[in-house]
Amino acid sequence: METSDNESAILKKRDKFFKGFERRKPFDHDVRKTGKFTQFSVSVPGNSPGSYTRWVKAVNQNGKTVRMYHDTYDKTGRFIHRGVKLPRPERHVI
């Protein structure tokens, strides 16, 4: 099956994103298509026992990253904070 250049760019971003977290023992990952955007997400264990961080990356139809952030949760699953990496870095915005 042939893929368009745009689909190929999105697949490359997806593979690179997930590969970047292999060392951190990811336990959950997801790919969602939302309109013109594709969102990749992966959960990795946090520094405190039971806590975890969910990394999210959104790319447009051309494969360009338009947003990237991480949400941190404690061992009970309670949201702690969000760190935005793109469009510009912000620490703990929520």
Inter-residue contact 54 to 74 (CB < 8 Å): no
Range of the domain at 43: 5-86
Rounded to the nearest integer, the mean pLDDT of the chain is 90
- Residues whose CB falls within 8 Å of the CB of residue 19, separated by 6 or more in sequence, listed in order: none
Does residue 94 lie within any of the structural domains? Answer: no
Does the predicted TM-score (pTM) go above 0.85? Answer: no
Please check whether residue 93 lies inside any domain of the structure: no
pLDDT tops 90 at residue 91: no
Is the confidence at residue 92, as pLDDT, over 70?
no
CATH code, domain carrying 25 = 3.10.450
Structural domain includes residue 80: yes
Query: Is residue 31, in this structure, part of any structural domain at all?
Result: yes
Residue 38 lies in a domain: yes
DSSP annotation string for 13-64: HHHHHHHTTGGG---EEEEEEETTEEEEEEEEE-SSTT-EEEEEEEE-TTS-
Asked if the structure places residue 63 within a domain, the reply is yes
Q: Is residue 21 part of a domain?
A: yes
Q: How many folded domains does the chain comprise?
A: 1
